[in-house]
Amino acid sequence: MTGTIDPDGTLGQVGGIAAKAEAAAEKGAAIFIVPDGQTMDSILQCEWREIFSFRFRMCTYEPVNVQTYLQQRGFATAVVEATNIEEAFDLMTNSTI
């Protein structure tokens, strides 16, 4: 799971979800919980270009669906949204508070 917990129990917005999801998947996580509305993230895509005798690294941020991003890397980790800490707990424990 990634996110912040607001005083009212809702999960707040966070960054770097694709990288965090990939790290969790590499460790064998079956499920990765993200704050509601954050299944999309941006990743840095870079390429080298040569102009005359100069070499430049050109980078842009590209939007990705985190679930698709993991699948393209061969991971079966499910990316699931949760609105608040109770929903996250239910998903993690398969029970309710």
**Structure tokens belonging to residue 45:** 């895509």
3 vs 28, higher pLDDT: 28
Which contacts (CB < 8 Å, 24+ apart) does range 22-25 have? 22/69, 22/70, 22/73, 22/75, 24/77, 25/70, 25/73, 25/75, 25/76, 25/77
Tens of pLDDT, residue by residue over 18-67, are: 999 999 999 999 999 999 999 999 999 999 999 899 999 999 999 999 99
